[in-house]
Amino acid sequence: MSNKIAVLPGDGIGQEIVAEAVKVLECLKSDFGLAVEMEGGLVGGSAYDASGTPLPEDTLKLSKEADAILLGAVGGYQWESLDIAVRPEKGLLGLRAELELFSNLRPAILYPQLADASTLKAEVVSGLDLMIVRELTGGIYFGQPRGVRTLESGERQGYNTLVYAEHEIERIGRSAFDIAMKRDKRVTSVDKANVLECTELWREVMERVAKDYPEVKLSHMYVDNAAMQLVRAPKQFDVMVTTNMFGDILSDCAAMLTGSIGMLPSASLDANGKGMYEPIHGSAPDIAGQNVANPLATILSVSMMLRYSLDQVEMADKIDQAVNQVLDNGLRTTDIHSEGMQAVSCSAMGDAVVAALRG
């Protein structure tokens, strides 16, 4: 039986990078017998332009029916002045919420070939292999009440609410501990328990979850210190688990350790392992349409999809090997380019990965 993949390129460079990831999937289909069907849909600003909403009903339906979702990126300058309720980002947040994709896995792995591309010294980052587990459907991103109100004085006041129920903390905790069991068995839970009651509860629940995983060592870290430690000595971490907003911030920081945010894939999973896969970078409107974006994060997101949702580990390994191969061959998009390497476009990078797959 063939699996169905919903393909949602979104906005900006989303179109270009997803096209390259689709090339890779088509190659696995034609040359290696991967049984998948792909169907496209609109999300984000392009969906708003076509239908007045960033998450059209048919896209939501397609995403719910599919076995996995491949997403590019959403957002762009032309939609920044729209009401927040219909901004492109709402399309992405709506998908996460509607599909209950609460567990966001953001690996930060340094490819040895790219040690020079990092802004940090090679000895600080070489061998880096960190997994950030970000809670994705709760916290301040979704907490009620929220909005902008007018006070009696006439002054306006903006407000958002950081809220986590115990079950939400517990399930993301279990995700992190399950992953740690397959890795180095260390979890660092990141919070701000010295100031925020909500994350004091977070810390307490993490301690409780840890009791079911006696082999895993749990430690806690305040988010400000975690940000500092990430750039000071990132290799101290194995699995980092944290709230929605802290995870948003720390994962961008961790991405840069690897040389380029253009290299990092992600998985957003529900309780049954169904997932949405996307690069962690955004729609990069400044370089959209120029065929210069790095498609590797999206191609590696396909690899994660095959591994985590479609149970096609061998196909995933093939992609990872092909990406390693093109890096070994010295091919580099602008974001990871360094002296002596061969500068290539987005589509040439995709073609090179396909060529490497074919051997």
Q: Which residue among 116, 224, 317, 328 is the active-site one?
A: 224
CB of 255 to ligand IPM, least distance (A): 10
Q: Please give the residues from 28 up to 87 whose contact with ligand IPM meets the rule CB under 6 A.
A: 75
Smallest CA-to-CA distance from 137 within 62, 55, 247, 60 is with 247
Check if 248 is active-site.
Answer: yes
Catalytic hit among 90, 192, 274, 318: 192
Question: 93 - beta bridge partners?
Answer: none
Q: Interface residues for ligand IPM in 163-192 (CB under 6 A)?
A: none
**5, 6, 68, 92: residue in contact with ligand IPM (rule CB under 6 A):** 92
Which residues are CB-neighbours of 313 under 8 A, at least 6 positions away? 306, 307
Report the nearest approach of ligand IPM to the CB of residue 282 (Å).
6
**Mask: binding to ligand IPM, 204-233, rule CB under 6 A, as x and -?**
------------------------------
Active site (annotated) includes residue 192: yes
Q: Are 202 and 243 in contact (CB under 8 A)?
A: yes
26, 49, 89, 270: which one contacts ligand IPM (CB under 6 A)?
89
Catalytic annotation, pick one of 141, 164, 213, 277: 141
Residue 335 binding ligand IPM, by CB under 6 A: no
Which residues inside 239-268 make contact with ligand IPM, applying CB under 6 A?
248
- Smallest gap from Cβ 69 to ligand IPM, in A, equals 14
* Residues contributing to the site for Mg ion (CB under 5 A): 248
141 among known catalytic residues: yes
Closer residue to ligand IPM in complex, CB, 96/318: 96
Binding mask 291-330 for ligand IPM (x = CB under 6 A): ----------------------------------------
Least spacing, CB of residue 96 vs Mg ion, in Å: 12
Q: Is 89 or 270 the residue whose CB approaches ligand IPM more closely?
A: 89
In angstroms, what is the minimal distance from the CB of 31 to Mg ion? 35
Interaction site with ligand IPM (CB under 6 A)? 75, 89, 92-93, 248, 280, 282
Catalytic residues: 141, 192, 224, 248, 252
